[in-house]
Amino acid sequence: MSFKNAWIVTQKEFSIVRLRKTLIYFYVAIPLVLSIGLPLLVLHIISGSSIKASDVQYVTGLMDAFEFFFAIIAVILSSYTSAYSIVGEKIQKSLEPLLSTPISDGEILLGKALSAFIPSFVAVLMGDSIYMTMMDKVTFHLLGYSYYPNLSVAIVLLLLVPVTIVFSIEVSTVASSRVSDPRSSYQLSMAGFIPFFIVYVLTEVGVITLTNTTLLSISGLVAVADVLMYTAVIKTFNRDKILTTWK
């Protein structure tokens, strides 16, 4: 496996993404809405009320749950790019000439995965940074200290978000082999969103508390899912299958 070859594919994908303005807006808008909207929501909740101990607990719980949103948007962003990347090749019928070059299937896959991973991760990282800065400003008078950064954020950003992005790219790759329209592929890829949404709902209804241990456990489970999905991806992204059985 040559990283150099994979990176050539990634650079080509970036060249195309740069020309697709809607994709760039998508990457900017979604994290920005969350990073500004969530602190404003908390500001609305706490403004005007007298500070009680229960308020502090409620708000910090809310902030922990909000952090999970960033794992969810990592799924949304990476699925979108990944779906467009592979189905885009199918629509333009560019996979056949690409596969005729001295690049392996794995290098193409890695190149495409990186092109979805890097912008998604950077967008989440920047969105979360804005979110943390704003949230600290909003909650400082309530908590008396800056809540962020903390270990939970480190786990989410450095562990949960990367494994989540990998998972969504894998789901998207398998989904892309079965459809020939980017929207259908994206909709199918959003199946990867469901487990994360369930976790979020369970957190909101109090079934799960997003402690550091819970976040580590979820990250571990997603990492295991990544490994299991990898086998399916390798079987799917195979030149024989791409040219003969892909729809």
Tally the residues of the chain: 247
Of residues 15 and 231, the one with the C-beta less far from another protein: 15
d(CA 227, CA 135): 35
To another protein, the closest distance from the beta carbon of 81 in angstroms equals 15
Applying CB under 8 A, the residues found at the interface with another protein are: 5, 8, 12, 15-16, 19-20, 92-104, 239-240, 243-244
Q: Can you spell out the DSSP letters for 2-24?
A: -HHHHHHHHHHHHHHHHH-HHHH
Of residues 16 and 216, the one with the C-beta less far from another protein: 16
Of residues 8 and 36, the one with the C-beta less far from another protein: 8
For residue 127 the two structure tokens come to 């969105």
CA dihedral 68, 226, 222, 71 (to 10 degrees): 0
To another protein, the closest distance from the beta carbon of 112 in angstroms equals 13
To another protein, the closest distance from the beta carbon of 152 in angstroms equals 40
Name the 3-class secondary structure at 73.
helix
Of residues 22 and 54, the one with the C-beta less far from another protein: 22
Omega before 149 cis (within 30°)? Answer: yes
To another protein, the closest distance from the beta carbon of 115 in angstroms equals 13
